[in-house]
């Protein structure tokens, strides 16, 4: 299996839309991981009612049901040290690291190996 950073978004609302779209493309819960900072992770886990761009209220509980892992940076780094799953080790997030520290959400997918 290989892993790919699919998106980097500053919005929980947008993240939910992207994850829902990944499911319509055939990705399963087991193939989707999110990495963000601690404050954003806590906002997602708290299942708070949040207000979207259009003023509509939404809840994060459906997002949690559609992903395998939700990591903050420290958890992601510890998981990577234990499992060595992501290519490039702790450098996997690369240019996305600063945006994650600032509250963006990186969406990682597990991609099936391509048959030759």
Distance CA 60, CA 45 (A): 7
- Mean pLDDT over 92-114 rounds to 92
Residue 74 within a domain: yes
Which among 26, 13, 53 has a CA at the least distance from the CA of 109? 26
Q: What is the pTM for the complete model shown?
A: 0.89
pLDDT value, residue 80: 92
Q: Could you tell me the CA-to-CA distances from 81 to 23, 72, 90 in Å, in that order?
A: 28, 14, 8
Looking at the predicted structure, is the pLDDT value of residue 1 above 90? no
Q: Could you tell me the pLDDT band of residue 86, with boundaries at 50, 70 and 90?
A: confident
Residue 100 within a domain: yes
Residue 116 within a domain: no
- How distant is the alpha carbon of residue 22 from its chain centre? 12
pLDDT value, residue 54: 66
Question: For residue range 8-52, what is the model confidence (pLDDT) as tens digits?
Answer: 999 988 999 999 999 999 999 999 999 999 999 998 998 766 665
pLDDT value, residue 91: 85
Name the more confident of 83 and 61: 83
Q: How many domains would you assign to the chain?
A: 1
The whole domain housing 40 covers: 2-111
């Amino acid at each position: 299996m290989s892993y790919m950073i699919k998106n980097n978004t500053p919005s929980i609302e947008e993240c939910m839309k992207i994850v829902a779209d990944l499911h319509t493309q055939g990705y399963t819960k087991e193939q989707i991981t999110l990495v963000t900072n601690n404050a954003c992770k806590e906002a997602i886990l708290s299942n708070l009612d949040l207000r979207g761009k259009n003023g509509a209220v939404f809840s994060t509980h459906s997002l949690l049901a559609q992903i395998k892992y939700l990591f903050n940076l420290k958890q992601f780094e510890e998981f990577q040290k234990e499992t060595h799953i992501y290519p490039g080790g702790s450098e996997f997030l690369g240019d996305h690291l600063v945006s994650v520290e600032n509250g963006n959400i990186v969406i990682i997918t597990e991609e099936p190996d391509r048959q030759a």
